[in-house]
C-alpha cells in the first residue's frame, strides 16, 4: 500500500532504525528479534499509509465527502462559528484512532480563503474538552457557489503534529489530499446555514475520507439560479 509523502521523514527514520536493529539481531542469531522488529516496522509504517481511492464524481455541487477516516463522534449545531463568517453552523466531528488512515481530504471543491493555526493542549481526542482546547488548524474553503466550508484538524494525546501545506488562494478538488494529523486525532467538517444542511451519517458510524458522503448543503437561492 502506498505511504503518504507527509510522513516521509518519519517512515524513513523508522525503516533505518529497524534495519539497523535487525542487522544486529541477525549477527547475534537472535532470529525472534528479527520477527519482532519486522512486526514493529509494519505497525509503525501503517500509520502513514495512504490508500488509493476512487473519489465519487457523480455528486451534486453541495455534496460533502468525509475529510477523514474514523468514527463520527458527534453531530451538532452552533450559533456562531468563525469558519462560516461568524454565523450558525452544523459540525460533524470525526474521531481518528491510531489505527485509522490519517491523511485528510477536501470535502468539496473550493478556494482556500483562511488558515488559522492555534497552539493548545494535547488531551485525549476522545474527551469532549479536547476539541476546544487542543492544538488545531482551521481551513476555510470558498465553495464554487459562494458558501464557506470549514475543515478543522485537531491534535490528540498521541498526535503532536498537524500537517497542512495549503496556502491562501490555493484551489482544491473534492477528495484531494491536503495534509494529515500524525497519529490519533479529530477532524471536523463545518457547514453554514444549518437549515440547508442534511446530515447523512449518524454518531458511531465509521466513515472513510474521500469516499463517504457526510452531508448535503442545499444551494441558496442566488446559487440555484
Task: Please list the residues that pair with 198 across neighbouring strands.
Answer: 216
For the question of residue 185 being annotated catalytic, the response is: yes
DSSP per position, 135-180: -EEEEEEE-TTS-EEEEEEE--SS---EE----TT-EE-TT-EEEE
**Phi, psi angles (nearest 5°) of residue 146:** 105, -5
- Return d(Cα 200, Cα 184) in angstroms, integer: 24
- Return d(Cα 75, Cα 73) in angstroms, integer: 7
Catalytic residue among 73, 106, 130, 185: 185
Active site residues: 185
Amino acid at each position: 500500500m502506498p505511504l503518504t509523502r507527509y510522513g516521509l521523514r518519519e517512515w524513513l527514520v523508522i525503516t533505518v532504525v529497524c534495519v539497523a536493529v535487525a542487522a544486529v539481531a541477525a549477527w547475534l542469531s537472535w532470529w525472534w528479534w528479527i520477527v519482532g522488529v519486522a512486526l514493529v516496522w509494519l505497525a509503525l509504517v501503517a500509520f502513514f499509509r495512504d490508500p488509493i481511492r476512487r473519489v465519487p464524481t457523480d455528486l451534486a455541487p453541495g455534496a460533502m465527502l468525509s475529510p477523514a477516516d474514523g468514527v463520527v463522534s458527534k453531530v451538532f449545531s452552533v450559533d456562531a462559528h468563525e469558519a462560516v463568517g461568524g454565523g450558525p453552523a452544523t459540525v460533524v466531528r470525526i474521531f481518528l484512532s491510531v489505527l485509522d488512515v490519517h491523511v485528510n481530504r477536501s470535502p468539496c471543491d473550493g478556494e482556500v480563503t483562511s488558515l488559522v493555526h492555534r497552539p493548545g493542549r494535547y488531551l485525549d481526542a476522545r474527551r469532549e474538552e479536547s476539541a476546544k482546547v487542543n492544538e488545531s488548524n482551521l481551513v476555510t474553503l470558498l465553495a464554487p457557489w459562494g458558501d464557506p466550508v470549514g475543515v478543522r484538524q485537531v491534535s490528540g494525546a498521541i498526535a503532536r503534529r498537524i500537517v497542512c501545506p495549503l496556502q491562501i488562494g490555493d484551489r482544491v478538488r473534492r477528495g484531494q489530499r491536503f495534509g494529515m494529523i500524525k497519529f490519533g486525532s479529530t477532524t471536523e467538517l463545518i457547514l453554514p446555514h444549518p437549515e440547508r444542511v442534511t446530515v447523512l451519517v449518524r454518531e458511531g458510524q465509521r466513515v472513510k475520507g474521500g469516499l463517504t458522503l457526510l452531508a448535503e448543503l442545499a444551494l441558496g437561492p442566488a446559487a440555484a439560479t
